[in-house]
Amino acid sequence: MVAECFSGECGFCDCCTKTNHYISNTDPNESRLRAEDMTKFFKKEEIQTEFETYHKSITNKMKSYQYIDKSEQGFCPQKVKIDNSDFILTDKTKKCDSTLCQMFHLHLHENIAKKLLTNIPIYKSVADKHFCLTCIHRA
């Protein structure tokens, strides 16, 4: 199974050819499927290098906001507005929906992924999309 085509016009993917494996944007696993597709374009070492950069970034942001964990959120902004969407800091344990973070979760050891997942600030939109502190500032 693969994710939906990015353009909808390539003529090769399941979306464009309307085969039985087509997945719509409403699929809750869409971000994971996109991450699985994206990992095909990167070497494991490249993903590891990108993760190290991401980890430094999220750690520095958490320190600057004095964020400790979900129960001690320090001075993290409670609400972030991007375009016309509001994202609210949540205390729930969710994975970030960005393709990059999903790629990390696919390639990290499960204990590291679990530790990372439970400790980072996650923002939730009204549309039930979740983004970590680093990804919310990239938008």
Mean pLDDT of 38-47: 91
Would you say 116 and 108 are in contact if contact means Cβ atoms under 8 Å apart? yes
State how far the alpha carbon of 116 is from the alpha carbons of 25, 56, 134, in Å.
27, 12, 13
More confident residue, 77 or 16: 77
Instruction: Give the C-alpha separation, 124 to 63, whole Å.
Output: 21
Give the closest residue to 124 by CA, choosing from 84, 95, 90. Answer: 90
Predicted pLDDT at 19: 45
Instruction: Give the C-alpha separation, 10 to 25, whole Å.
Output: 17
pLDDT digits (tens, 9 = 90+) for 120-131: 999 999 888 899
CB atoms within 10 A of CB 15: 22
Predicted pLDDT at 20: 39
pLDDT digits (tens, 9 = 90+) for 83-122: 888 999 999 888 898 889 999 988 888 888 888 777 899 9
Residue 18 pLDDT exceeds 60: no
